């Protein structure tokens, strides 16, 4: 077996693309001005920031003044949720609806608000990892301030019926936020047409650098300022702009949203080949809906296999993958996402996420399909759990 390097963990982060790097470089070098300075160097930086804002707005179907740059997707989620809570608490609205399998940037924020007197409803998801919009309708109350539902799940890749959920929220007069960190660049999004009030995204998932994000806030919603200080981001989020990162994000989102369907036409057959062939191994299951999932997401559980060992052995074979979300790896708790779709702890522990893009070749797919069965067999041969399973004995 020849050894090579295959990066199949794009949901964790992506490489900065050449195009993005080229766009950024001038703002580290000759274009280093502070975007608030009035001389030409500063004005040029300011223009570059506004140009990037226009690109983000265009990619999302928003207006530039509805786009606010943040330091990451987590910051955008925090701002949307805590900001809405602060805004509407004054009107007696202290109820928030979200789902059980959101990213921790949302869940830990709602848990924080719970400690401060907010009532949170966590909508369950089906065994396929989908939310029923009618559950949201039923959960909305007179004191509901916000509904926050992720566009696509970071672990199992399921894509939620966002337009339907938004339309229920609009009808009921409740604000709707979506964490679209994993969706941008993979599905078509139009915030105005879809009735989305707030949307978070993150640069490092779409080939921009780490540490840059966006919160889209529909005009008319006046969230409290996130960072007090200077007048940047129309006074809402102070701090000298990270011009190269913002410029990079502008280019990244333009490229990522340019040919979504053409890219998906390349990725989906390769993803399906991976899924179909891995599922030929005994005692495996696909996590998440077969069709309503991100084009590049493969998430499969292998009974009798320990996820961390699987990842290490794949790494030894030059394949980068993940067993849960990157943010929680290192923790021994099984993924809350996999538990939410009904997996038993030991099955959730033996899960693998591959997240591929259109740079993956047929040859790479074949290589992955050559390595995985060997690694799984090796780990199962060493596993006392697998041995007990095969003997039909009880195991924990
Ligand atoms: N939301 C989702 C769904 C994510 O997958 C991530 C990152 O993995 C985040 C939020 C956080 O984004 P960032 O890393 O930019 O803070």
> What tens digit of pLDDT does each residue of 380-391 get?
999 988 888 898
> What tens digit of pLDDT does each residue of 182-207 get?
999 999 999 999 999 999 999 999 99
**What is the CB neighbour count within 10 angstroms for residue 37?**
13
The C-alpha atoms of residue 396 and residue 394 are separated, in whole angstroms, by 7
Active site residue 169: no
Q: For 73-99, b where at least 16 C-beta lie within 10 A, e where not — what string?
A: bbbbbbbbbbbbbebbbeeebbbbbbb
Query: What's the CA-to-centroid distance between 261 and ligand 1, angstroms?
Result: 23
Q: Is 181 in the pocket of ligand 1 (CB under 6 A)?
A: yes
Question: Are the CB atoms for 126 and 341 separated by under 8 Å?
Answer: yes
Q: For strands 198-202 and 213-217, give the pairing.
A: antiparallel
> Both tokens of residue 300?
């499969």
Give me the mean pLDDT over the 3-26 stretch.
96
Give me the mean pLDDT over the 142-171 stretch.
98
Catalytic residue among 72, 169, 320, 327: 327
Query: What's the CA-to-centroid distance between 369 and ligand 1, angstroms?
Result: 28
Q: Record the pTM.
A: 0.96
Residue 326's pLDDT band (cuts 50, 70, 90):
very low
């Amino acid at each position: 077996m020849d050894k090579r390097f295959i990066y199949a963990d794009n949901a964790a982060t992506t490489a900065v693309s050449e195009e993005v790097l080229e766009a950024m470089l001038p703002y580290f070098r000759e274009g280093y001005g502070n975007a608030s300075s009035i001389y030409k160097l500063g004005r040029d930086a300011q223009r570059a920031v506004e140009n990037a804002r226009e690109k983000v707005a265009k990619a999302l179907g928003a207006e530039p003044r509805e786009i606010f740059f943040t330091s990451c997707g987590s910051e955008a989620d925090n701002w949307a949720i805590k900001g809405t809570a602060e805004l509407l608490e004054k009107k007696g609205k202290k109820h928030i609806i979200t789902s059980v399998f959101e990213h921790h940037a949302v869940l830990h924020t709602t848990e924080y608000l719970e400690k401060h007197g907010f009532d949170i409803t966590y909508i369950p998801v089906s065994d396929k990892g989908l939310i029923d919009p009618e559950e949201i309708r039923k959960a909305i109350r007179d004191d509901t301030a916000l509904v926050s539902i992720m566009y696509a799940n970071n672990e199992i890749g399921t894509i939620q019926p966002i337009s339907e959920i938004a339309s229920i929220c609009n009808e009921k007069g409740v604000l709707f936020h979506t964490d679209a960190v994993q969706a941008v660049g993979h599905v078509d999004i139009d915030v105005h047409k879809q009735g989305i009030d707030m949307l978070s995204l993150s640069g490092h998932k779409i080939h921009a650098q780490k540490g840059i994000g966006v919160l889209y806030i529909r005009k008319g919603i006046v969230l409290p300022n996130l960072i007090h200080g200077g007048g940047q981001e129309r006074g809402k989020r102070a701090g000298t702009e990270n011009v190269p990162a913002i410029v990079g994000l502008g280019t990244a989102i333009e490229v990522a949203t340019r040919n979504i369907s053409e890219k998906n036409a390349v990725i989906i057959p390769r993803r399906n080949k991976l899924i179909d062939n891995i599922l030929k191994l005994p005692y495996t299951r696909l996590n998440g809906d077969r069709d309503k999932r991100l084009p590049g997401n493969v998430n499969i559980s292998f009974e009798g296999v320990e996820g961390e060992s699987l990842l290490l052995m794949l790494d030894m074979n030059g394949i980068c993958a993940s067993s849960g979300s990157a943010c929680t790896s290192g923790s021994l708790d099984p993924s809350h996402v996999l538990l939410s779709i009904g997996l038993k702890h030991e099955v959730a522990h033996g899960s693998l996420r591959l997240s591929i893009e259109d740079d993956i070749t047929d040859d790479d797919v074949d290589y992955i399909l050559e390595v995985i069965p060997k690694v799984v067999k090796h780990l199962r041969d060493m596993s006392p759990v697998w041995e007990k399973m095969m003997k039909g004995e009880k195991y924990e």
